[in-house]
Structure 1
Amino acid sequence: MAEVGARPEPARWSILTVCTANVCRSPLMELLLRERLDPARFEIASAGVMGWRDAPVDSMVRLELARLGLDGSEFRSRPLHPAHVKAADVVLTATKEHRASVLELDPGALRKTFTLLELAALVEDRTADSLPELVADAARRRSTAPSLLDVPDPFRRAPEVHRSTADLIDDATERLARTFATLG
């Protein structure tokens, strides 16, 4: 029986990924999560705090997506709006600065907004049995996350930076997807 006032688990879990322009890191997060999570249970989108409208992914990111077996040719960027944050069940940002920008738009989103690396670390030793419990538990234990929480920005940087950023995002989204898939 659900407790009074408890939020029912949504039919589809909405995940929003956020970075600066929505052409490098958040598209990588979005597309990797889309590939790894059941679309019947998860809806994944992305946006940028200074997002461009309808820009394709960065050409270097497209190469990294191809290396990871994905096609980013259909992706188009969008700027972040408060409605995107309100509609999301979880918001994953590339950096702490992006997390702060999300919270400026919607201070009430604190308990559902994490950096990608922060949430990936916090779910490692989870005890939750559902996605809402997982997010609530992670929010309670936020102070126990590692101090290095930011995914470096590869925009207009060397191919090696794009590769290491893509690998970091690949690893974190793999860990999150594996955990999310096991929850009811």
Structure 2
Amino acid sequence: MTVCTGNICRSPMAEVVLRTKLEEAGLADVVEVDSTGISDEEHGNPVDRRARAVLRAHGYPTGEGHRARQVRASDLVSRDLLLPMTAAHARALRRMAGGDPAVTDRIRMLRTFDPTAEHEPGQPEDVLDVDDPWYGPDEAFERTLAEIEAAADGIVAHVRDGLAARARR
């Protein structure tokens, strides 16, 4: 599950990209991808028009039918991997999990899977934030998509490795 603030820009874009990449990897039948938001402020709204335009321009589905929803505690325990877009989203998920390591161990910031993202030990987590394009120009959505795409192959490899490990048990 990908997680952002309102579930209308970053997390649905990541959901579409990951679903596409997992399908290309032959994993669509065994992996479910969805998205949520920390806030309920956009509840029921579709993917932002600018996000849809950028997805379309890059050959992705546009997330038609998506309706924003807020993450629930039940989502945390039923997902194998939780991918927050920012350090603030990760903290909110950890708080919601109540410190349960069975959940908190599955929270990984999306950009930690980007081999080009620079994060030195001792740096704050937020250097790996996927910037919120909502308040920026249309080009901000291009940057957001590029950050998501840069992490996608690493996420697919992580998921593939996890499925292989389960199969060996």
Whether TM-score is above 0.5 comes out as yes
Counterpart in 2 of 1:31?
Answer: 16
Report whether the alignment pairs 1:114 with 2:108: yes
1:175 aligns with one of 148, 154, 165 = 154
Equivalent residue, structure 2, for 1:59: 49
Alignment of 1:149 onto 2:146: no
What is aligned with 2:69?
A: 78
- Aligned-pair distance for 1:145? 8.9
Which structure's residues are more often strand, by fraction?
1
Q: Is the 8 A contact 1:64 1:162 kept in 2?
A: yes
Q: Which residue of 1 aligns with 2:167?
A: none
Q: Which SS does the other structure have where 1:154 is aligned?
A: coil
Structure 2 CA distance for partners of 1:111 and 1:145, relative to 1, 3 Å: farther
**Is 2:76 the counterpart of 1:97?**
no
Query: Judging changes above 3 Å, is the alpha-carbon distance between structure 1 residues 35 and 164 closer, same or farther for their aligned structure 2 residues?
Result: same
Q: Percent identity?
A: 27
Please, what is the CA RMSD of the aligned residues? 2.3
Which residue is 2:143 aligned to? 164
Q: Which segments of structure 1 move beyond 6 Å, counting only runs of 4 or more?
A: none
Check whether the contact 1:118–1:145 (CA below 8 A) recurs between aligned residues: no
Counterpart of 1:113, as a letter, is I
CA distance in 1, matches of 2:106, 2:95: 14
How far the C-alpha of 1:53 sits from its partner, in A, is 1.9
Unaligned runs of 5+ in 2: 116-120, 165-169
Cα–Cα, structure 1 residues 57 and 98, in superposed 2: closer, same or farther, change >3 Å? same
Q: TM-score, normalization: structure 2?
A: 0.80
Match of residue 22 from structure 1: 7
